[in-house]
Amino acid sequence: MKDSDSIDPPEQCVGAVILAAGQGTRMRSALPKVLHPVAGRPMLLHVAHLARVLGCQPIVAVVGHQAEQVRQAAGDSLAFVEQSPQLGTGHAVAQARPALADRVERVLVLYGDAPLATAETLRSLLQAGAGRALALLTAELSNPRGYGRIVRAEGRVVGLVEEAEASEAIRAIGEVFSGVLCAEAPWLWTHLATLQPHPNGEFYLTDLVRMAALEGLPIGAVQPAQPEEIMGINDRAQLAQANQVLWERKRRDLMAAGVTLLDPGSTFVDAEVLVGQDTIIHPNTYLRGRTVVGQGCELGPGTLIQDSQLGDRCRVVMSVVEGAELAERVQVGPFAHLRPGARIEADVELGNFSEVKASVVGAGSKAHHFSYLGDAVLGKNVNVGAGTITCNYDGVRKHRTVVGDNVFIGSDTMLVAPVALGDGARTGAGAVVTRDVAPEQLVVGVPARPVPGKGKQADAKETEPRGQP
- Sequence-ordered strand ranges (E) for 362-400: 366-374, 376-378, 383-384, 389-391
Tell me what pLDDT residue 383 has.
98
Q: pLDDT per position in the chain (469 positions), as tens?
A: 545 565 665 556 899 999 999 888 999 999 999 999 999 999 999 999 999 999 999 999 999 988 899 999 888 889 999 998 889 999 999 999 999 978 899 999 999 999 999 999 999 999 999 989 999 999 999 999 889 999 999 889 998 988 888 899 999 999 999 999 999 999 999 999 999 998 889 999 999 999 999 999 999 999 999 999 999 999 999 999 999 999 999 999 999 999 999 999 999 999 999 999 999 999 999 999 999 999 999 999 999 999 999 999 999 999 999 999 999 999 999 999 999 999 999 999 999 999 999 999 999 999 999 999 999 999 999 999 999 999 999 999 999 999 999 999 999 999 999 999 999 999 999 999 999 999 999 999 999 999 988 776 544 444 344 334 3
CA 120, CA 115: separation in Å to the nearest integer? 14
What number of other Cβ atoms are within 10 A of residue 171's Cβ?
Answer: 12
C-alpha Rg value of the chain to the nearest Å: 31
* pTM tops 0.85, yes or no: yes
CB contact set of 405 (below 8 Å; sequence gap of 6+): 362, 379, 380, 381, 382, 423, 424
Domain ranges of the chain: 14-230, 238-456
- Could you say which of 198, 368, 369, 399 is catalytic? 369
Tell me what pLDDT residue 5 has.
60
CA angle 462, 466, 469 (to 5 degrees): 105
Tell me what pLDDT residue 77 has.
81
Whether 399 is catalytic:
no
Please state which architecture CATH assigns to domain 238-456. Answer: 3 Solenoid (2.160)
What number of other Cβ atoms are within 10 A of residue 162's Cβ?
Answer: 16
CATH code, 14-230 = 3.90.550.10
Tell me what pLDDT residue 101 has.
76
Q: Identify whether the C-beta of residue 272 lies closer than 8 Å to the C-beta of residue 288.
A: no
CA 34, CA 24: separation in Å to the nearest integer? 8
Tell me the DSSP string of 264-309.
Answer: GGGEEE-TT-EE-TT-EE-SSEEEETT-EE-TT-EE-SSEEEES-E
Nearest to 97 by CA among 36, 187, 26, 7: 187
229 burial via Cβ count (<10 Å: 0-12, 13-18, 19+): buried
Tell me what pLDDT residue 10 has.
57
Tell me what pLDDT residue 456 has.
63
CA 276, CA 148: separation in Å to the nearest integer? 44
Which uninterrupted H or E stretch holds 125?
helix 119-129
What number of other Cβ atoms are within 10 A of residue 235's Cβ?
Answer: 15
Tell me what pLDDT residue 6 has.
58
Helix (H, G, I), strand (E, B) or coil at 24: coil
User: Strands 331-332, 343-344: parallel, antiparallel or unpaired by DSSP?
Assistant: unpaired
Q: Identify whether the C-beta of residue 205 lies closer than 8 Å to the C-beta of residue 197.
A: no
Same topology, domains 14-230 and 238-456? Answer is: no
CA 180, CA 191: separation in Å to the nearest integer? 17
Q: Identify whether the C-beta of residue 365 lies closer than 8 Å to the C-beta of residue 327.
A: no
Tell me what pLDDT residue 22 has.
85
